[in-house]
Structure 1
Amino acid sequence: MKSSGTALKAVPVLAALTIFFGLASVGDQLVLPWFVDGREARGLLFPPGSEFPYQTPEFSHKAGINSLGFRDREWNTEKNGSTIRVLAIGDSFTFGMGVELEQTWPKILEQRLRDLGLDIEIANLGRPGASPAEYAEVAEKAIPLLKPDKIVIAVLQGDDLAQTIRQVRQNGEQQKKSPFSRIAVGINRTAGLLYPNTSRLIEQYLINRSTFRSRDRLLEKIWQSQAEKLAAGYRGERKARFDSMSATARGMFLKGHLNPGIVSMAISDPHYFATTLQADDPLVQDGLRKMQDHLQGIKKSAGGTPVIVVSMPLGAYVSEDVWNGRKEIGFTTSPEMLHTTVPDEELKKICAAVDIPFLSVTERFRRQSVNKPLYYKYDGHFNPRGHQVFVEELLPLLQKHVFNTSSKNSTTN
């Protein structure tokens, strides 16, 4: 009888909670959309109209974001019927870290194809720090909005696989956490489903707060502050790795002239670029399978629109200059890295498994890098010449396999 009475007392409470959450959901769906629109508030990749200043000893430029939320000129969601629209999805190499917009490979490629007579436009959907998981998310959002005719996924050799391996490892560790931790993750996901506009509004506030802070302070000052905090926290083996950095690299880091993320990666995971070359490693295989899943997801989002994967040559595998720079920062390096074909071979396999064409210019890029620097030595991104050469080597392959154009100067593998 006592338990029955307790249950009866709980009924009004449960009813009140049900009404509360029901009204909250209605408010989220009917009221908040007047204050927040998914595309206008967040943009596809960045807050619309924002600007990011980048200044290091190796380069200086500002990256402006258009009203749709990606680094490019203003775009109309509705395209001209005769225009070929291409989405270039990738990370900071596609975004163009270290160069002006018109110096990025998507914009150079766009102009070169126009010079060949194509009515074409290429959207630069690169986002620094993105990995195949994010490429799939970007594709899912951008394809229905921009309605492309072709989609190019620029996969960064080794690095994208390394990021995916980290994500697989972190997901495995998450499964081992306490039930309370998993419940918290579940509640967070459920809140996003039940109250999408509320979650979006909170997320936008956090994004804008971070963005405005970046505007107010030079990147150099931000990096210097982060470097000081990181250096002060190193102990034991990590401290030894930090002390073993070359004097030049360590000095750049402490002055805010070197991306703290690169140094932090070298200190915490010095084998970052070497591990991905061990194709038989079970963890590497797990990462490759996950990358394959992401590519399959992109193909599904494309809904029949042609998808092409292009291998972006990573400096540590291509340029002796960058290879030395990575060694100075503290990464494990070996001479074979500059000759390996493993990254492209493995990527080609997973592309074949999901029936997506794969293009690579690695060997040609290696030969070109001997003559002139194509990367920033310490930062590791393409310099303006690198973007230009990448297009020079990629264009003939695209002409042959994708756009069916011809040129007197074109060559093929």
Structure 2
Amino acid sequence: MKNSKNVLLFFISILILFWNPLSFHLYYSSHEVFESKVLNFLFWLIPIGGMLAILYVRRQKSLSQKTESLIFNGAYIGIILGFLILINFLIGVFTAPEKESAAGRVIKSDGLIFKPKSVAVYKTVEFDYTATINSLGLRNKEVEIEKAEGIYRILCFGDSWTFGWGVNIEFSWPMQMENYLKENGYTHVEVINCGQGGQFTTTYKQFMADAVPLLKPDLVLVGVLQLDDLAQLFENKLLAEPKGDVNNPKYLIRSFLMASFGNYLKLMSRDDSSAINIQAVWEADNKGLIKDFKGLRKLRFTTLTDTIQTLFKTGNLNPGLLNNYIDFPDRVTIFNNPNHPATLDAMQKMSDDVQEMKGICEANNAALIFINLPMNYFTGHKVERMPSDVLNEYFKENNRIDSIYSSIAFAHQLPYVELTEHFKKLKEKNAYFFKYDGHPNERGYHEIATETGRYLVENHYLKK
């Protein structure tokens, strides 16, 4: 019985070492769950309860089998969980997301934008391309961090229009612009693609904060998507999950589990560089969304053409478009109106973002240019989306978004490039954008590239 009591005392002592206010601070001080009063109370309660259990066991000449089993099992489970949390913490320490380069600049080992060396295959009825990510976490060929002598380096930030959605990397507008400039005698230019799909000005500035100090460009181009980037500033505010709501039990449990065991997931996915079949992912995601549609959302889905519905169900259109069509069908009407409260709110956020982008570039001696990337709504090009497509001719003739973007650029004294008129003048209205997906195709990106490159040449940003 004495040996049995000693084993219990040992297990309780180990339990206290794992669960106490000091370990709570060590493991969770950098996580929002650290603010939880419930968890604070728990990490005080366990050591206090453990101390009382030690006193109780020591004072008893003998313990019943039931009491002994209860104490032993409770301590054993607590020790196992505590040990797993400790290992999770150590994984985080030894796989820190940043490391120092030889030049003393910070390189994010989890990638500037994407997971380094990852690959995704995008194959739909409209396109078939592969997105390969380099060692810095950019959809670009490998880049030397240190800029070679005499090289004029340009970084291009933006969303899927800049990323080159629908085409291989050499046909994205940044790469086609590099070719255009070199063909015109500017052989010392280097263009780097820093685009990512689904992003907007708030995330562009975050990417700039990491990439610009590291890569030290001479020029930064930010491709702001016509209307979409403005709309996202407001829509993401509506969709954002409340941060730090640790008083919500579901949110607290989920956050605690991620803070306690999240590094295991990162470790397991760390070296997985196998290609991802995007169509299969989209098909599963879209079917899940469609299955959950109720009421007005379900009715709104049925207003889409049979072709569009089928493309979503088969994974040939991405879930982001489905969300836009169902949840924000009036977004063009709203955000083309400069006096709408939602537009005014988004305009202020975009202005704040642009101001921060300018500050990042100035701090690193880089020029910044605001490029308004065109959509079909305002240029007359044919893309099949929703019943509201019948309004596209009206939007083309009553374009207010361009004046919003130009006013923001000019307010911050930034050069501004607008491509709307150029795309309106293109005669083949079915030749520059994917019919259903809506992104520019190779020819569309070529027009963006040549017009932007021409602007740089005519305004003497480059020298031969």
TM range (shorter): 0.7 to 0.9
Is the alpha carbon distance of 1:253 and 1:352 closer, same or farther for their aligned partners in structure 2, counting shifts above 3 Å?
same
2-side partners of 1:24 and 1:364: how far apart? 54
State the shift of 1:36 in Å: 3.4
Alpha-carbon RMSD across the aligned residues, in angstroms, is 3.5
**Alpha-carbon distance in 1 for matches of 2:326, 2:150:** 51
Quote the Cα distance in structure 1 between the aligned partners of 2:460 and 2:367. Answer: 9
Q: CA deviation at 1:206?
A: 8.5
Is 1:294 aligned with 2:294? no
Closer/same/farther in 2, CA of residues 24 and 282 from structure 1, 3 Å limit = closer
SS of match in other structure, 1:363: helix
> What is the distance in 1 between the residues matched to 2:294 and 2:131?
36
- Distance, in Å, in 1 between the alignment partners of 2:23 and 2:309 is 59
- 8 Å CA contact retained: 1:168, 1:286: no
- Residue 356 to residue 99, structure 1, CA distance change in 2 (3 Å): same
Q: CA deviation at 1:32?
A: 5.0
SS in 2 for 1:284: helix
Whole-angstrom distance in 2 between the partners of 1:135 and 1:200: 26
> Which 10-residue stretch deviates more, 130-139 or 106-115?
106-115
Give the secondary structure class of the aligned counterpart of 1:391: helix
Which secondary structure does the structure 2 equivalent of 1:248 belong to?
helix
Pair 1:60 & 2:118 matched: no
**TM-score, with normalisation over the residues of structure 1?**
0.81
1:253 alignment partner in structure 2: 312
The answer as to 2:95 corresponding to 1:35 is yes
1:21 Cα deviation after fit: 2.7
Verify: 1:49 aligned to 2:107, yes or no. no
Q: 2:457 aligns with which of 367, 389, 399?
A: 399
Letter of the 2:190 partner, please give it.
E
Q: Deviations over 1:286-335 (max 9, x none)?
A: 1011011111111111114211010100122224411xx1235x678442
Aligned to 1:310: 371
Once the two structures are superposed, residues 235-261 of structure 1 have per-residue CA deviations (whole angstroms, 9 ceiling, x without a partner) of 211111111111111122212222222
Instruction: Please state how far the C-alpha of 1:199 moved relative to its aligned partner.
Output: 10
1:81 aligns with 2:149: yes
How far off its partner does 1:115 sit? 2.1
Post-superposition offset of 1:165: 1.1
Do structure 1's residue 167 and structure 2's residue 232 form an aligned pair? no
Shift of residue 101, structure 1, vs aligned partner? 0.8
Contact 1:272-1:331 within 8 A present in 2 as well: no
Taking the aligned partners of 1:37 and 1:132, their CA distance within structure 2 comes to: 24
Aligned to 2:199: 130
CA contact (8 A) 2:89 2:263 kept: no
Aligned to 2:179, the other structure's residue is in SS state helix
How far the C-alpha of 1:66 sits from its partner, in A, is 0.5
> Are residues 98 and 236 of structure 1, via their aligned partners in 2, closer, same or farther at CA, if it must alter by over 3 Å?
same
Inter-partner Cα distance in structure 2 for 1:60 and 1:326: 21
137-146 or 198-207, larger mean C-alpha shift: 198-207
Quickly say closer, same or farther: Cα 1:334–1:350, change in 2 above 3 A.
same
Do residues 347 (structure 1) and 415 (structure 2) align? no
Report the 3-state secondary structure (helix = DSSP H, G, I; strand = E; otherwise coil) of the residue aligned with 2:114: coil
| CA distance, structure 1, for counterparts of residue 346 and residue 176 of structure 2 | 32
- 1:161-214 CA-to-partner distances (Å, cap 9, x unmatched) read 01001134456x949x978259x79x97xxx9xx9xx999578458759x76x8
Partner residue, 2:247: 180
> In the aligned structure 2, how far is the partner of 1:178 from the partner of 1:23?
19
Which amino acid is the alignment partner of residue 382 of structure 2?
Answer: D
What CA distance in whole angstroms lies between the structure 2 residues aligned with 1:342 and 1:365?
Answer: 16
Distance, in Å, in 2 between the alignment partners of 1:249 and 1:29 is: 47
Deviation per residue, 1:134-154 (Å, 9 max, x gap): 101000000111011110000
2:211 to 139, 142, 150: 142
User: Secondary structure of the residue that 1:374 maps to in structure 2?
Assistant: coil
User: Are the equivalent residues in 1 in contact too, given 2:355–2:412 (CA < 8 A)?
Assistant: yes
Q: State the one-letter code of the partner of 1:116.
A: N
Check 1:279–1:23 CA distance in 2 against 1; reply closer, same or farther (3 A cut).
closer
**SS of match in other structure, 2:192:** strand
* Structure 2 residue 341 is the aligned partner of structure 1 residue 274: no
1:20-66 Cα distance to aligned partner (Å, 9 max, x none): 63588899999855433424531111111110100010000101000
Residue ranges of structure 1 left out of the alignment (5+ in a row):
1-11, 407-413
Aligned residues of 1:319 and 1:369 also touching (Cα < 8 A): no
Residue 17 of structure 1 corresponds to 21
In 1, Cα distance between equivalents of 2:304 and 2:294 = 15
Secondary structure of 2:386's counterpart equals helix
Matched residues, number: 380
Bigger mean CA offset, 392-401 vs 228-237: 392-401
For 1:109, the aligned partner's letter is: M
Quick one: which amino acid aligns to residue 102 of structure 1?
E
Cα 1:377–1:44 shift into 2, 3 Å: same
**Deviation of residue 370 (structure 1)?**
3.5
State the identity as a percent. 28
d(CA) in 2 for partners of 1:24 and 1:168? 27
Any gaps of 5 or more consecutive residues in structure 2? 1-15, 31-85, 99-106
User: Residues of 2 paired with 1:127 and 1:206: CA distance?
Assistant: 24
SS of residue matched to 1:180: coil
CA contact (8 A) 2:131 2:169 kept: yes
Residue 114 of structure 1 aligns with which residue?
Answer: 182
Q: TM-score, normalised by structure 2?
A: 0.73
The structure with more radius of gyration: 2
SS at match of 1:387: helix
Q: 1:72 to 1:404 in 2, by over 3 A?
A: closer
Distance 2:158 2:269 in 1: 20
